[in-house]
Amino acid sequence: MTVKLYQFCISHYAEKVRWALDYKGINYQPVNLLPGQHVKSIRALTKAESSVPVLDHDGQIIQGSAQILDYLDQAFPERPLAPESPDAREQVLAWEKKLDDLAGPAIRTWIYHYFLQRPKVVIPLLAAGTPFYNRIILSLAFSRVDEIMRKWMKINQATADTAQQALETLLAELAEAYRQQPYLVGDQFSRADLTAGALMAPLFQPPQYPVPWPKPVKIPKPVQAMLAQWQDDIAPIAEIYRNNR
C-alpha cells in the first residue's frame, strides 16, 4: 500500500489530513510542494483543480481535506473520526464545514496580510519542506509572489480587518463550547475537534507542525497584540491539539 500526501507544509488544511493520517496510524509519504509551482503537479493528478491537499492511495486520488477525511474513514475504519449516531455525525460535519468555510480562510487572510510584509519571516514558512534553493527563488521574486498571493486570496487591509473580526467571533464560540464540554460534539474526539485544532494551529504554533515558526519577536506587532488578547479563547483549542495530536 502506498499513501502519498501532496501538500504545502504551511497549509492548515494539510495539517487536518496529516493529523487524521497520524491519528489512524497510517504510514504515508508527504510530497511537499512550493506554492505556485504546485499547479502543474496537482493538475496532472486531479485533471481539474490545483488546490492542496491531495491524497493518492494506490492511484485513488482524493482532493480537499474534508473529502480526504471522508475517504480515510471509509478505507481505514479503525479509530473513526465521526460518531456512529446520525444526529451526532450531522453536528460534527456541521462544525467542520463551518470551520472550513470561515476559520480557514479568515486565518489565511489575516496572517498573510501581516506576514507578507515581512519576507524574511514568511519565506521559510512558504518553502518549508522543499529544497533550500526555493527560499532563494522566493526571495528574488518576492514582490511578484506578494502581488500574486494578495490578488489570488483577496488579501488587503480591509479583508484582514474583516477576517480578524470573524476569527474573534469564532474563537469565542469555540472557547465557550469547550467550557461546556470536553469535545465539540458528545463525549469523544472527532473530526470537528481535529478541524478546530488544525485550522487554528497557526495561532498557537505547535511544535508538531512542520514549519519553522518565527520567534515571538519576529511576529508582526498587530498579530502579537491580537494573539495576546485572544489567549484565553485560544487555550482550550491548543489543549485539544496537545492532547490528541
Domain boundaries, the chain: 3-75, 86-244
pLDDT at 32: 97
- Strand-pair category, 60-63 with 29-32: unpaired
pLDDT over 90 (residue 77): yes
Instruction: Give the right CATH number for 86-244 from 1.10.3720.10, 3.10.580.10, 1.20.1050.10, 3.30.70.20.
Output: 1.20.1050.10
Listed residue (123, 167, 155, 161) closest to 35, CA to CA:
123
What pTM was estimated for this model as a whole? 0.96
Share above pLDDT 90 across residues of the chain, in percent, rounded to a whole number: 93
- Band (pLDDT 50/70/90 cuts) for residue 131 is very high
pLDDT over 90 (residue 44): no
pLDDT at 179: 95
pLDDT over 90 (residue 48): no
pLDDT at 38: 83
Residue 192 DSSP code: H
pLDDT at 217: 96
Topology of the domain covering 3-75? Glutaredoxin (3.40.30)
The mean pLDDT value of the chain amounts to 96
- CB within 8 A of 58, min separation 6: which ones? 1, 2, 3
Give pLDDT tens digits for 210-233: 999 999 999 999 999 999 999 999
**How many whole angstroms separate alpha carbon 18 and alpha carbon 203?**
18
pLDDT at 47: 83
- Band (pLDDT 50/70/90 cuts) for residue 146 is very high
